[in-house]
């Protein structure tokens, strides 16, 4: 199997899955390691996530810890936790030791205390203690994003010492282009040294003589503030110090970019009413999590439907209305969700803030009037032609026109209002919007129909 290329076509992949299973059943460690290493980390992870949990655990146990750790680094957070959690704690600890400290901290943070303590107990004491500290920071702060491995030197060391370390190990790549940070004997951050100044100086020069005032952040610094800082400075890393000025870690530009991607994904998942679900999770868990999102929808739907219930007489008289109720509801929902989408985007880009409520409302009213008229006329013509009744067209068209205006106004502003009250707009905007536009849409269609009843039934 060693001639297996990295770019398999579909057929080879099926064979590959079977061969992997065979090697697993035979507990052939060498063969398994070779097979997994022959794949890109993404493809290897895909194979692992297609496996039954018991097979996955067996594979992770048999792989060398470095290879297993590569899979964990590639996995989305919730899968990484599941993969580690279900392993024997000795094996898990060995794999954990091979991970970046920020991945380690994410895993410890997402596990229950009991499970993580079993693994931490098997790890080197100092590293475990560090991890316990690191896992207490909020994941979207500098503390949660930082790595503990700072590229740091004592104030009395020389340029030669830094160059020696750069030569001796793979510090530069491992530290993702960090500058050397200079600390005193208590670990307090005193400054930072540029590569340029080091290269310009003799090896005997003391770091104390060429250090610059560093830009540093506290562990509580928010992800947004970090994005701003990295936008304004070209650095690849920013040191994190505690309240006493002690250097405790470094946030890298790359780690931050990855965190931004995760945040965008989280928002997108919340808008789609799912959490961080993966199909490799147990069915019952997936059902329960989806039902948790859906249960609020049932209640909101009942509220919206009660509007229809109040107009049963009108409906009974003009049954054709029932055809257009879901259409008006769906079209207004779509219009409103477009406005929600633009607001969510502008909020995340920092182009809109809750104080811009009236600016947004004014802008949405403009679009709402135009789109309301266009969509109203279109659906009005459809209703008129379909049911051969001009007044039906008028009722449905007017209702959709007005409801489009309502939908975009609410859709544009509701994320700002929710954000202002500290509610996650990605989670709540959609369901709230849909309920209001459904109620308003049903009310408009049915009350206009009641008003025009003589013309409609003639």
- Of 175-194, binders to a second copy (CB under 8 A) are 176-177, 194
> Measured in whole angstroms, how far is the alpha carbon of residue 179 from the centre of its chain?
29
Question: φ and ψ at 154, to 5 degrees?
Answer: -75, 150
CB contact at 8 A, 429 and 415 = yes
Within 237-276, the residues that bind a second copy by CB under 8 A are 253-254, 257-258, 260-261, 264-265, 267-269, 271-274
CA dist 32 and 168 (Å) reads 33
Nearer to a second copy, 115 or 237 (CB): 237
Is residue 21 part of the contact set for a second copy (CB under 8 A)? no
Report if residue 454 touches a second copy, rule: CB under 8 A: no
Nearer to a second copy, 257 or 451 (CB): 257
- 42 near a second copy, rule: CB under 8 A: yes
Q: Could you say which of 374, 388, 451, 457 contacts a second copy (CB under 8 A)?
A: 374
Q: At its nearest, how many Å lie between a second copy and the CB of residue 381?
A: 11
The residue ranges of DSSP E strands in 84-188, in sequence order, are 152-154, 181-183
Residue among 84 and 396 whose Cβ is closer to a second copy: 396
Q: Sign of torsion, CA 410 413 414 417? A: negative
H helical segments located in 233-356: 253-271, 283-309, 312-317, 321-349
According to the binding rule CB under 8 A, does residue 195 interact with a second copy? yes
Residue 448 binds a second copy, judged by CB under 8 A: no
- Tell me how far apart the alpha carbons of residues 112 and 128 are, in angstroms, rounded to a whole number: 16
Going by C-alpha positions, the residue among 78, 124, 9, 431 that lies closest to residue 282 is 78
Rounded distance between C-alpha atoms, residue 74 and residue 42, angstroms: 7
The verdict on 54 binding a second copy (CB under 8 A) reads no
Q: Give the interface segment with a second copy, choosing from 116-124, 132-140, 374-382, 449-457 (CB under 8 A).
A: 374-382
* Site string (62-81) toward a second copy, x via CB under 8 A: ------------x-x-----
Contact flag: residue 366 with a second copy (CB under 8 A): yes
What is the CB neighbour count within 10 angstroms for residue 90?
12
When binding is defined by CB under 8 A, the residue of 25, 350, 388, 457 that contacts a second copy is 350
Our finding on whether 277 is near a second copy (CB under 8 A) is yes
Near a second copy in 281-340, by CB under 8 A: 283-284, 286-287, 290-291, 293-294, 297-298, 301-302, 304-305, 308-309, 312, 315-316, 319-320, 322-327, 329-331, 334-335, 337-338, 340
Alpha carbon distance 448, 153 (integer Å): 77
Measure Cα distances from 154 to 62, 189, 383, 396 in Å: 42, 10, 79, 76
Report CA-CA distances (Å) from 362 to 365, 387, 410, 411.
Answer: 5, 36, 12, 13
Q: What angle do CA 120, 121, 125 make, to 5 degrees?
A: 85
Applying CB under 8 A, does 370 fall inside the site for a second copy?
yes
Residues between 107 and 166 that touch a second copy (CB under 8 A)? 163, 166
Near a second copy in 208-237, by CB under 8 A: 227-228, 231-232, 234-236
Give the nearer residue to a second copy in terms of CB position, either 136 or 306.
306
Q: Nearest distance from residue 304's CB to a second copy, in Å? A: 7
Of the candidates 24, 81, 238, 375, which one interacts with a second copy according to CB under 8 A?
Answer: 375
Q: Which is nearer to a second copy, 137 or 230 (CB)?
A: 230
> C-alpha angle 441/446/451, rounded to 5°?
130
Q: Work out whether 451 is an interface residue with a second copy (CB under 8 A).
A: no
Interacting residues of 140 by C-beta distance below 8 A, sequence separation 6+:
222, 223, 259, 263
């Amino acid at each position: 199997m060693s001639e297996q290329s990295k770019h398999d076509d579909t057929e080879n992949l099926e064979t590959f899955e079977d061969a992997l299973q065979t090697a697993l059943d035979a507990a052939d460690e060498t063969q398994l390691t070779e097979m997994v290493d022959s794949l890109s980390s993404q493809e290897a992870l895909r194979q692992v996530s297609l496996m039954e949990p018991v097979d996955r655990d067996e594979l992770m146990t048999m792989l060398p810890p470095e290879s297993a750790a590569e899979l964990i680094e590639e996995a989305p957070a919730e899968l990484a936790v599941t993969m580690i959690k279900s392993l024997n704690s000795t094996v898990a600890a060995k794999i954990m030791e091979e991970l970046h400290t920020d991945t380690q901290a994410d895993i410890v943070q997402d596990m229950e205390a009991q499970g993580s303590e079993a693994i931490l107990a098997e790890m080197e004491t100092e590293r475990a203690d560090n991890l316990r500290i690191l896992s207490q920071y909020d994941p979207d702060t500098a503390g949660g994003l930082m790595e503990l491995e700072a590229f740091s030197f004592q104030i009395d060391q020389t340029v030669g010492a830094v160059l020696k370390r750069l030569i001796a190990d793979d510090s530069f790549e491992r530290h993702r282009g960090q500058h050397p940070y200079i600390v005193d004997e208590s670990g307090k951050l005193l400054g930072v040294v540029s590569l340029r100044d080091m290269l310009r100086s003799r090896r005997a020069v003391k770091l104390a003589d060429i250090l610059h005032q560093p830009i540093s952040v506290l562990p509580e610094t928010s992800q947004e503030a970090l994005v701003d800082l990295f936008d304004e400075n070209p650095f690849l890393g920013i040191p994190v110090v505690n309240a006493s000025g002690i250097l405790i870690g470094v946030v890298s530009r790359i780690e931050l970019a990855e965190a931004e991607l995760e945040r965008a994904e989280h928002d997108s998942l919340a808008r789609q009413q799912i959490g961080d679900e993966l199909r490799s999770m147990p069915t019952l868990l997936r059902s329960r999590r989806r039902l948790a999102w859906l249960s609020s929808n049932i209640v909101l739907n009942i509220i919206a439907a009660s509007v229809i219930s109040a107009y049963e007489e009108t409906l009974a008289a003009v049954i054709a209305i029932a055809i257009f109720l879901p259409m008006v509801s769906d079209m207004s929902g779509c219009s409103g969700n477009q406005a929600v989408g633009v607001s969510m985007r502008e909020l995340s880009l920092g182009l809109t803030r809750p104080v811009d409520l009236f600016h947004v409302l004014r802008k949405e009213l403009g679009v709402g009037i135009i789109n309301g008229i266009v969509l109203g006329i279109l659906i009005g013509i459809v209703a008129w032609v379909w049911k051969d009744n001009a007044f039906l067209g008028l009722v449905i068209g007017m209702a959709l026109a007005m409801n489009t205006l309502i939908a975009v106004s609410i859709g544009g502003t509701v994320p700002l209002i929710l954000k202002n009250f500290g509610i996650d707009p990605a989670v709540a905007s959609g369901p709230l919007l849909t309920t209001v536009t459904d109620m308003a849409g049903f009310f408009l269609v049915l009350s206009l129909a009641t008003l025009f009843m003589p013309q409609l039934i003639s």
